[in-house]
Amino acid sequence: MSLRPDRVQQLLDRSDLADLVSGITGCLDRKDFEGLHHFYTSDAVLRVADSECASVEAIVSAARKSHEMFWQTQHLVAGLTVSIAADHAEVVANVVAVLMPAAQGSDIHLMGSRYELAATRIESRWVAAEHVIVPLWDLRRP
């Protein structure tokens, strides 16, 4: 049995789109905020709760502001679903973030969210044009 070329391309696209989500969360965990440029279009939009960033520069700035205060972070990605139509894709993933405070005695912050990305293929590479983070739960523990 041989794989059809279109099926192989679909599998490669799904893998690349999973790497897109992991790449974004990896940049956050490494505090490589400038690395986020690789994963978003220049005019990408990020929506979180009541705020919106309307460019990759604004996304980088917001990521830095919301993550640099933590000593360590770990974003765990699961339940990835992908829908592809030509050079556009919708990606949904569940993300659990563990945020370790820099200050002694501060609470550990755990958050569950859903990432919803609209991705586009540019020169054989998938990037996020829109990223919505839907908060699901939030827990702080000493």
C-alpha–C-alpha distance, residues 127 and 125, integer Å: 7
Cβ-based neighbours of 54, under 8 Å, separated by 6 or more: 43, 45
What tens digit of pLDDT does each residue of 57-106 get?
999 999 999 999 999 999 999 999 999 999 999 999 999 999 999 877 78
What is the average per-residue pLDDT within 112-119?
Answer: 99
Under DSSP, the state recorded for 106 is P
φ and ψ at residue 84, rounded to 5 degrees: -115, 135
- List domains and CATH numbers for the chain: 5-141 (3.10.450.50)
Comparing 6-10, 34-38, 76-80, the range with the smallest average pLDDT is 6-10
Residue for token pair 């502001």: 65
Strands 70-85 and 40-48: unpaired
Q: What is the pTM of this model?
A: 0.93
Q: Taking 60 as the threshold, does the pLDDT of residue 1 lie above it?
A: no
**Percent with pLDDT over 70 in the chain:** 97
Contact 33, 64 (CB under 8 A): yes
- The DSSP line for 123-139 is TTEEEEEEEEEEEEEEE
- From residue 129, how far is each of 80, 105, 117, 126 by CA, in Å? 18, 39, 7, 9
Q: Which residues are registered as beta bridge partners of 137?
A: 112
